[in-house]
Amino acid sequence: MLTVSQLFIYPIKSLGGIEVQSSHVGERGLQYDRRWMLIDEQGRFITQREHKQLALFRTAIDADHLIVYHQQDPSNKLFVPLQVAADQSLEVTIWEDVCRATAINAAADAWFSERVGMKLRLVYMPDGSRREVDPDYAFEKEITSFSDGYPMLMIGQASLDHLNAQLQQPLPMDRFRPNIVFTGGEPHQEDQMKSFSINGLKMLGVKPCARCVMTTIDQATGAAGQEPLATLSTYRKRNNKIYFGQNVIPKSFGIINVGDTISA
């Protein structure tokens, strides 16, 4: 039996995530997941790939705000209203996609710019912004948030356990930034899960996730190393890409919970 064991959201792309016990699944994935993003002066997204210190920012959500702080200065918090006024619209670029976003405010921009050491803006993806997934893997022009490409990422705990058995220093699941983690099954069973349901919600596994250098960044310290890519390349490399996890598109919407059974 496959069972949801952990759920994660990452409200601001490439910053720290939040573990939750339940979440609403919408067309863009889990609620609040990657709905905010930092952009540079050219309007292009930034990530831990180039700015490892982003790993040191932590996020939380209360009834009215997204809360952000740097782990080295936890008392200095930024409060971002969850309800965003859509009166400062601009175009942003994420990979090869250009989509509409809403600027938050000058105070948030200054807060991040000071701490990262470059001029940044914090933006939000409003409901009216439509960023489609890769048409090669879409069914009905499905959309996503500011994620790398798909609404959700799912990984089996058995896959991480199998990897860790080969490493001198085991790694936590946060290296891979999944939305859904499940227990049960065989290592990399998620690769074969093309159609399944969680709490009655239909989901489609559409494409194994190609992994990048972000997986080598320690999410607690911001330090980078060689693992897990060095080891994964010995058994999870195809066509010069290293795969770990399954990209998922939701086809029905509602609540999922830790403890839910995953059924075929």
pLDDT at 2: 98
Instruction: Characterize 20-52 residue by residue with b for buried, 16 or more Cβ atoms within 10 angstroms of its Cβ, and e for exposed.
Output: beebebbebbbbbbbbbbbbbeeeebbbbeebb
pLDDT at 260: 98
Q: What is the pLDDT of residues 26-65, one digit of tens each?
A: 999 999 999 999 999 999 999 999 999 999 999 999 999 9
Report the C-alpha gap between 13 and 34 in whole angstroms. 5
DSSP lists the bridge partners of residue 80 as 66
Using DSSP bridges, classify how beta strands 152-156 and 180-183 pair: parallel, antiparallel or unpaired. parallel
Percent with pLDDT over 70 in the chain: 100
pTM strictly above 0.95 = yes
Cis-peptide into 126, omega within 30 deg: no
Q: What is the pLDDT of residues 81-116, one digit of tens each?
A: 999 887 789 999 999 999 999 999 999 999 999 999
Task: Please work out, in degrees rounded to the nearest 5, the angle formed at the alpha carbon of residue 253 by the alpha carbons of 57 and 37.
Answer: 25
Q: Quick one: 200 exposed, middle or buried, by C-beta within 10 A (0-12, 13-18, 19+)? A: exposed
Q: What is the pLDDT of residues 169-210, one digit of tens each?
A: 999 999 999 999 999 999 999 999 999 999 999 999 999 999
pLDDT at 96: 95
Ordered structural domains, the chain, with CATH: 2-263 (2.40.33.20)
Q: How many CA atoms lie within 13 A of 40 on its CB side?
A: 11
Rounded average pLDDT over 68-81: 97
Rounded average pLDDT over 7-14: 98
Angstrom CA distances, 238 to 58, 152, 208, 229, stand at 34, 22, 11, 13
Rounded average pLDDT over 1-11: 98
Q: What is the pLDDT of residues 127-148, one digit of tens each?
A: 999 999 999 999 999 999 999 9
DSSP 84: -
pLDDT at 264: 87
Report the C-alpha gap between 12 and 55 in whole angstroms. 11
Angstrom CA distances, 77 to 61, 144, 170, 177, stand at 12, 28, 32, 23
Report the C-alpha gap between 219 and 16 in whole angstroms. 8
